[in-house]
Amino acid sequence: MGPREGTPGVTTYVLLAAGLKNPTVRKRYVAARELLAEYGRLDFHEPFLALLGCAEMDRERVEHHLGAPRLWKVAEEILAANREIRD
């Protein structure tokens, strides 16, 4: 099972807003973990991942999800090259 949509993802916004951190979409999960670490509450991290539905993800599934940003970067590079050709 991959990360769940909706409410669990919004939980990161609550944590980050309370910690006066920027709740960006791309880095919100890492930022939430860093915030928990800052406050010495990494004990909440595993339950937080369970709430998100990704605590039991195996390496292959994680790598699959992490591949998406790399594909987006390649697409951006292709679009930029096409813009340069047109200009």
Q: Give CA separation, 48 vs 3, 23, 64, 73, 80, in Å.
A: 11, 16, 21, 28, 38
The domain tally of the chain equals: 2
Question: Which residues form the domain of 86?
Answer: 58-87
Q: Give CA separation, 87 vs 13, 43, 77, 83, in Å.
A: 40, 53, 15, 6
Q: Give CA separation, 13 vs 7, 37, 47, 58, 70, in Å.
A: 10, 16, 16, 25, 24
Q: State pLDDT tens for residues 13-65.
A: 888 888 998 888 778 888 989 999 999 999 998 888 888 777 788 878 877 77
Residues 81 and 68 in one domain: yes
Residues 83 and 44 in one domain: no
Residues 41 and 65 in one domain: no
Residues 9 and 19 in one domain: yes
Answer yes or no: is pLDDT of 74 > 60. yes
Residues 41 and 6 in one domain: yes
Residues 7 and 45 in one domain: yes
Residues 12 and 32 in one domain: yes
Full-model pTM: 0.58
Long-range contacts at 5-8 (CB < 8 A, ≥ 24 apart)? 8/51, 8/52, 8/53
